Structure 1
């Protein structure tokens, strides 16, 4: 039995020579770029506060400020993650959970207090300050090196320290320059290490926060699974009650009439039996479709591409299917994606009045997720209603550990986008 090698300690990670060198380069760049970033942020803040009384125009700048903070935080998280490989997830903006202006206000408010964005802003603020000090130290390092070579070009017995007015005997120029260069280089390396330590402390959530987030995610998945199962049970009951059951009752009544007429009117009885036979085949077809909605065998046997091809072939709206998968995902992931796409096609056929639907499915190795998008060119205006088809999509995807996004402005188009971890 083999054991996995121990992970390096956080301090050893940030002290790796290549990471320290890269951190120094980042700090130097942020020492130049950082002030511009914060100038923009403070300008947006000033405009939002100053123009608030003017017909609420300041609110527009405030919304711009909120999403500018998100962009800065996202970029800083991506920079730190790429530099130190902390494994941080790059989240997106908060999504609207309710329609209308109230939903928009709630979305902006949630984005305003987003902890990840503010951690990123705090990290880049500290990195900018460290970057400015790094640039100063680079200047000191350059002055020290100039001092080392001053005796080669000096024409007097003293050397003037730039911008200080202090003169140093030329005999002391070399040791003074060497000491200055070594100390400033050591300070620069120290700042590179310090940046990694501070970045980990600021950007990476605490252990308690990570556990709380994991609990919230697990709770949401469990609630989604329970809700999806309840909706699935309701759908099966509805389909049986409204579809198969009346048809089977009709078959029984038709056979009863045929039994009564078989002696007196054999021709009519024969027609009734033929009608019952046709209804029986239709009931069998409905039962097969119902069973396929619960679980499709072709999904296990031939994969998601073949299963979606079968769904697209039965759609009453032309479907442009674009599936590019290099491998297979877990059974739960493929089942959730299949259900989401099939339900989205069903909703489009019932409500969208679309001329065509486009389905795109990709396996994204960078995120390890199965991504799918269903878009129609219909009238739009679709809303997530508790117990409805779109609600079932959201709950099924959340139960599988993924995310669903539904965008359907009035006038169209309507798009359903899902992303599910491949190994969920």
Structure 2
């Protein structure tokens, strides 16, 4: 099998060779009938005309893109012409030697390396046979019947045409090589662009990690840590009141208990934002349901069973959903949010959508800072070979879609 451009180039070569063989055979037939009237010369000319039809028939396998069969038919036909013509008309042996080598030259561009020897070895031995026939100088003596001027005329008619075919083959090889080089350059440009994007993505991931670390530090300092410092002071106060004023100490301990509960709640919420236990224990669907329950905006859920996949894939989908839900609550002004989760790609991907009916926005108009959240989502999905799509317009709400390849469900 081969691609379209390769099939077209091979067809052009076959047609050119068939036209040359037909012209050479027809010229020989005409000369044998009108000028010299030599029977065997007519036979060899008719044989070459028949072989030209065989060469043309090599285009038939190309209809099914069977390049190997086409080259085989092309090669056998040329070898037959080379051997037959060299055995009878030995004056043409230099031209027939090139004819014998032509199949290996063509096969080099259209046949895989493990099949190339099918053409190189026979071409070598056929060319040796042609040279041997030429060196023996017509053991049959048939060529002596052909006038020297006709021998020269046959060579003059056929040699330029054969040279043109060789030039045509060389040009076809050049076009093939040029196309391959262009494709390689395009691939290298794509790889360079992907490498640059990967570098930028890693830089964004490092920056986002630093920001998240500072946010966690700030939340701990301003929240649970401050409450625990206050608890420590309240416990010191309660300890001083225990002996002298038990009732006041009891009230103080009740306040301490409330602060401990608040600190516990803040730590639980912070830990849930880092990596919820429900995601680890039960998977995506329960984790997403829990996240929807905490949403201040009503959420309509359409959650299909997705099974379990690797921790990094589940985390990528969950935190992208969580971030999209957070953005919808914070910026969209939506009255409702729809959240969908399902298997796609014949079960090989996990797909999600977060749709709100809020104010929407123009994705093309947001600046680098404003679009950092969407960039973070794309980077998170890109890290697991996923893709992100944003569909938004002013006044028409926003839809965030994502898909992550995860393999079969477990």
What TM-score do the two structures reach when normalised by structure 1?
A: 0.50
The residue aligned with 2:303 is: 323
Aligned equivalents of 2:371, 2:211: Cα separation in 1? 6
Q: What is the SS of the residue equivalent to 1:187?
A: coil
Aligned equivalents of 1:395, 1:226: Cα separation in 2? 11
Do residues 418 (structure 1) and 402 (structure 2) align? Answer: yes
Determine which structure has greater relative contact order: mean sequence separation of CA pairs < 8 Å that are 6+ residues apart, divided by chain length.
Answer: 1
2:341 aligns with one of 361, 375, 386:
361
Q: CA deviation at 1:389?
A: 4.6
Do residues 336 (structure 1) and 316 (structure 2) align? Answer: yes
Quick check: which one's helix share is greater?
2
Contact persistence 2:285–2:306 (CA under 8 A): no
- Deviations 1:190-234 (Å, cap 9, x if unpaired)? 584499979877667666456535634542453343233223213
What is the correspondence of 1:153-164 to structure 2 with a 5 Å cutoff? none
Aligned equivalents of 1:339, 1:262: Cα separation in 2? 48
1:313–1:348 Cα change, 3 Å: same
Do residues 279 (structure 1) and 263 (structure 2) align? Answer: no
1:322–1:260 Cα change, 3 Å: same
Q: Which has the larger radius of gyration?
A: 2
Do residues 187 (structure 1) and 59 (structure 2) align? Answer: yes
Contact persistence 1:220–1:398 (CA under 8 A): no
Aligned equivalents of 1:203, 1:364: Cα separation in 2? 32
Q: What is the Cα-based RMSD across aligned positions, in Å?
A: 4.6
Aligned equivalents of 1:389, 1:259: Cα separation in 2? 49
What is the correspondence of 1:37-48 to structure 2 with a 5 Å cutoff? none
Contact persistence 1:360–1:372 (CA under 8 A): yes
Q: CA deviation at 1:188?
A: 5.3
The residue aligned with 2:147 is: none
Do residues 299 (structure 1) and 279 (structure 2) align? Answer: yes
Q: Which sections of structure 2, spanning at least 5 residues, go unmatched?
A: 19-45, 68-108, 112-175
Aligned equivalents of 2:282, 2:221: Cα separation in 1? 32
What is the correspondence of 1:168-247 to structure 2 with a 5 Å cutoff? 182-187=54-59, 189-190=61-62, 192=65, 193=67, 208-209=188-189, 212=192, 215-216=195-196, 218-247=198-227
The residue aligned with 1:347 is: 327
- Deviations 1:234-261 (Å, cap 9, x if unpaired)? 3312322333233334434444554555
Aligned equivalents of 1:188, 1:203: Cα separation in 2? 29
What is the correspondence of 1:145-160 to structure 2 with a 5 Å cutoff? none
Q: CA deviation at 1:413?
A: 1.0
Q: CA deviation at 1:341?
A: 0.9
1:243–1:375 Cα change, 3 Å: farther
Q: Which sections of structure 1, spanning at least 5 residues, go unmatched?
A: 1-18, 28-125, 141-173
